[in-house]
Amino acid sequence: MKRSEINKILKESLSFVEMMNFHLPPFAHWSLDDWKSKGEEYDEIRDNMLGWDITDFGRGDFYREGLVLFTIRNGNLNIKKYKKPYAEKILIVREEQITPFHFHWSKMEDIINRGGGTVLIQLYNSTEDGDLADTPVLISMDGRNYTAPAGTTVRLTPGESITLFPGVYHKFWGEKGKGFTLLGEVSSVNDDNIDNRFLEKTGRFPEIEEDEPPFRLLAIDYRKGV
């Protein structure tokens, strides 16, 4: 992805979050110069990849398959000084924008529709060799637990939530005609480097073409030493 495209997406995302009256932590608004002034006291942000995250899943068409995320808090499975056993994110989903089928090996998460549009989520169990299973899937939504046929799609309207268990494939997208959706994610510790299993080959983090300076840093930019 070009940095100019990422900058445009981030500006649109910030405008939507502000419209939803959702307040992000201060580091969501830091410029590159701000980051250069932040010392080791902010290593928890860098080490745990807090902050902005944009992906096109390696497909090269963000508006068809893509997602904007902001990690608000997170622990770390490898660095023991960070004791948090939980994580929290927001996700911004556009109309008909797909996050492709994937599951998590260890992470258990609740996805909450915080407002805006409606999100559709399709669910399958996974087989031992990583394919889609044809077995009934357990659905847990806001205290209601039931089984449904493999491939069932549920609608998540504002205020509703769903629990996604490890090993359960899920694919989601914004419902047409409903606008942007602000999703919340509350989960066990998140590690996107090792805990995602996509059904089809994807790239979780984008390769960035630096055609202009960054408006806001992405979490993957921290590796560059800011």
Question: Is 168 within 8 Å of 126 (Cβ atoms)?
Answer: yes
CATH topology of domain 3-224: Jelly Rolls (2.60.120)
**Which residue's entry shows tokens 């299973």?**
133
- Rounded mean pLDDT for each run of 10 residues along the chain, 226 residues in total: 97 98 98 95 97 95 97 95 97 98 97 98 97 98 98 98 98 98 98 94 90 97 85
Q: Please name which of 145, 150, 137, 179 lies closest in space to residue 161, comparing C-alpha atoms.
A: 145
pLDDT of residue 208: 94
How far apart are the C-alpha atoms of 88 and 86, rounded to whole Å? 7
- pTM for the full model? 0.96
Return the domain boundaries, the chain. Answer: 3-224
CA distance 142 to 51: 28
Q: Give percent above pLDDT 90 in the chain.
A: 94
Sequence-separated (6 or more) residues with CB below 8 Å from residue 61? none
